[in-house]
Structure 1
């Protein structure tokens, strides 16, 4: 009897990473944070200011970015992600997805949330 196995998806292990990246790109497009140091409300002075119109987004963005990395790590531990793949391929995809989401979240945090501080 021939088993009718579906071929594993090429995006297996990268779904949460890609969806999260699209989510953060659209979120930043909607929130329109300050992207230049000269546009900060405290430019030329002392103190902390936010790159967002609502300063609470500094905290929310940090929390969402941390949650995104946690979800990417959780996706890598699911058996559905590893189905039908060899050990080295799974480890390489997991390392790439975790590294990509971590670097992207740290880059977003440094560039946006810390700009006016």
Structure 2
């Protein structure tokens, strides 16, 4: 929820025509964000989210079988990686084409 809210607040370019370097308007800024430092911060936050998911899945819990916990852990880690790559990745590389 934090990353989704952050993306809404940052309001990145979602189409090529919103990029600052669209149709030769200058080659200086190729970031989809108003502040280009978010091109670094956003992947770092996504990596921290994936690591937190992995750590959470490694914590012991009170009930459930080993198979159930393995399936749940695999699903949680896979979903965090997929969301990071498929949602955040295109935002970072949107204006670098």
TM-score by length of 1: 0.76
Which runs of no fewer than 5 residues in structure 1 stay unpaired? 1-21
Query: 2:52 matched to 1:97?
Result: no
- For this pair of structures, how many residues does the alignment match? 94
1:68-109 CA deviation, whole Å, 9 max, x = no partner? 0000000000013xx211011000000000000000001123
Structure having the higher Rg: 1
State the Cα RMSD in Å: 1.3
d(CA) in 2 for partners of 1:109, 1:23? 13
Residue 111 (structure 1) shift: 1.7
Match of 2:5 in 1: 26
Query: 2:81 matched to 1:114?
Result: no
Which runs of no fewer than 5 residues in structure 2 stay unpaired? none
